[in-house]
Amino acid sequence: MAKSLTSHRPILAITLKVTAIGLFTIMSGLIKEITQTVPTGQAVFFRSFFVLPVILVWLAARGDLPSGLRTRSPMLHFWRGVVGTTAMGLNFAALAILPLPEVTALGYATPIFTLVLAALLLGERIRIIRISAVAIGLVGVLIMLSPRLGGAGSFQDMAFIGAMLVLAAAALRGFVQIHIRKMVQSEETAAIVFYFSVTASLLSLLTLPFGWVKPDMPLLLLMISTGFIGAIAQILITSSYRFAPASLLAPYDYVSMLFALIIGYVWFSEWPSLVMLLGAALVIVANGIVIWRESRLGLERGKAKPLTDPKGG
């Protein structure tokens, strides 16, 4: 009888998940540093292209090459790549403008958008508890946005534009998560990650005519490291779901705020306002309600192979 690839080891699962979240936040810090000098499209290319060798080595080590890259629906990967790459580019552009903790906090709106889009596109029923969660989450987002809406010229203010970029990226990631629900019915996790990285690499090359910079060696190493760190973090998250259910691990996504606060303060001398933290807390509460409700209902999608979408995608 074949040996099961899963087991219940919650401490190991939590350790893997938190480590991955920390790596993703470090990667965001690197992207923020890089995009002060490098165009967004160039940053997207390095973040995506240098994921590929890590994924290939990982699959080979598991004995899943080339079977892990087989696909039944290439067009599903294409559209996931187009939307995900757009979301990544918007988020990277926002990181060049806004403090890291603020980008992190506004990004927590993704599950709220996912819930709304699931109702609109998939016809999923939203009952009073989830409607309340959406309302709380939207209030939290508005609170976070309120400092950006203060003056008559706020709509031309770069900080306001940055906030809108993050929310647009969050909405697109919500769409991607719905799309991935369909993909996991026929596609392997590794294939989804791999072909997204291929698509993102190719699409980002379209920005070459708009001016890429020739990096010096330290900057080049930073750009390459974003891909390696992102790939390792993705593998750790994927592995964490082998040892615990998604419902147990989902709340640990919000450890990213702690990492973002530390990295933002130490690296960029950024410190969030109390208004931003209050808004972020409300969004986290709203997402917590959704997580609790879905775990209680035992939704069918929770039975599918868990997949955390690559950050920035």
Q: What is the pLDDT of residues 4-56, one digit of tens each?
A: 455 678 899 899 999 999 999 999 999 999 999 999 999 999 999 999 999 99
Q: How many CB atoms lie within 10 A of CB 12?
A: 15
Query: Interior CA angle at 31 toward 235 and 198, to 5°?
Result: 50
Which amino acid is present at 86? T
Sign of the C-alpha dihedral computed for residues 34, 21, 140 and 262 taken in this order: negative
Q: Is the pLDDT of residue 217 over 60?
A: yes
Q: Is the pLDDT of residue 184 over 70?
A: yes
25-to-105, 141, 155, 289 alpha-carbon distances in Å: 12, 20, 28, 24
Note the pLDDT of residue 47: 96
Residue with tokens 């890590």: 54
Q: How many domains does the chain have?
A: 1
* Alpha-carbon gap, residue 196 to 232, rounded angstroms: 15
Is position 310 within any domain? no
Is position 250 within any domain? yes
CA nearest to 311, candidates 196, 161, 142, 199: 196
Residue with tokens 């972020």: 280
Q: In the chain, what is the straight-line distance between the N-terminal and C-terminal CA atoms, in Å? A: 38
Which amino acid is present at 113? F
142-to-255, 286, 289 alpha-carbon distances in Å: 22, 13, 19
Is position 1 within any domain? no
49: Cβ–Cβ under 8 A, 6 or more apart, which residues?
197, 201, 227
* Alpha-carbon gap, residue 36 to 30, rounded angstroms: 10
Is position 2 within any domain? no
Mean pLDDT over the full length of the chain = 86
Instruction: Give the chain's length.
Output: 313
Residues 57-98: pLDDT tens digits? 988 988 888 888 988 889 999 999 999 999 999 999 999 999
Tell me the average pLDDT across 224-252. 87
Note the pLDDT of residue 159: 87
Note the pLDDT of residue 151: 54
Is position 313 within any domain? no
Q: Is the pLDDT of residue 245 over 60?
A: yes
Is position 243 within any domain? yes
Q: Is the pLDDT of residue 185 over 60?
A: yes
The domain in which residue 129 lies consists of 10-303
* Alpha-carbon gap, residue 124 to 74, rounded angstroms: 26
Is position 89 within any domain? yes
51: Cβ–Cβ under 8 A, 6 or more apart, which residues?
193, 194, 197, 227, 228, 230, 231, 234, 310
pTM for the predicted model, two decimal places: 0.86
Note the pLDDT of residue 150: 61
Is position 122 within any domain? yes
Token pair belonging to 141: 């987002």
* Alpha-carbon gap, residue 49 to 194, rounded angstroms: 10
Collapsing DSSP to helix, strand or coil, 23 comes out as helix
